[in-house]
Amino acid sequence: MNNDELVKAVCPLINDTGWAFYFVPDTVAKAAELGLNGMEFYVLGRGGPLGDCDSSAVAAAFGYFNPAVIARAWDGAAAKVKPRDAGKAHLECSAQLGRAKLGDVAKLDAFVKAADAVNNAADADGLALYAAIRSEPLASDTAGRAMQLVSVLREFRGSAHLVAIRALGLTAKQAHFVKRPNDTKMFGWTPEDAPYIDDEVRAKMLEVEALTDKIVAPAYGVLDDAGRDALLAGAIAIKAAVIQIS
| Mean pLDDT value across residues 223-243 | 96
- Is it the case that residue 66 has pLDDT exceeding 60? yes
- Is it the case that residue 245 has pLDDT exceeding 70? no
Distance CA 137, CA 147 (A): 13
Model pLDDT for residues 10-45, shown as the tens digit of each residue: 999 999 999 999 999 999 999 999 999 999 999 999
Residue 216 sits at the vertex; the CA angle it makes with 211 and 217, to the nearest 5 degrees, is 90
Share of the chain above pLDDT 70, in %: 99
191, burial (CB in 10 Å: exposed 0-12, middle 13-18, buried 19+): exposed
Per-residue confidence (pLDDT) for residue 85, from 0 to 100? 98
Model pLDDT for residues 91-141, shown as the tens digit of each residue: 999 999 999 999 999 999 999 999 999 999 999 999 999 999 999 999 999
Q: What are phi and psi of 51, to 5 degrees?
A: 90, -165
Per-residue confidence (pLDDT) for residue 141, from 0 to 100? 97
Residue 164 sits at the vertex; the CA angle it makes with 160 and 170, to the nearest 5 degrees, is 135
Q: Choose between 245 and 215: higher pLDDT.
A: 215
- Is it the case that residue 64 has pLDDT exceeding 50? yes
User: Alpha helices, DSSP H only, in the chain?
Assistant: 3-17, 25-33, 38-47, 55-62, 67-78, 83-101, 108-121, 128-134, 142-167, 172-179, 199-220, 225-242
* DSSP classification of residue 183: G
pTM (2 decimals)? Answer: 0.94
Nearest CA-CA partner of 149 in 206, 105, 208, 205: 105
Model pLDDT for residues 131-167, shown as the tens digit of each residue: 999 999 999 999 999 999 999 999 999 999 999 999 9
Among the ranges given (96-110, 181-195, 224-238), the one the predictor scored with the smallest mean pLDDT: 181-195
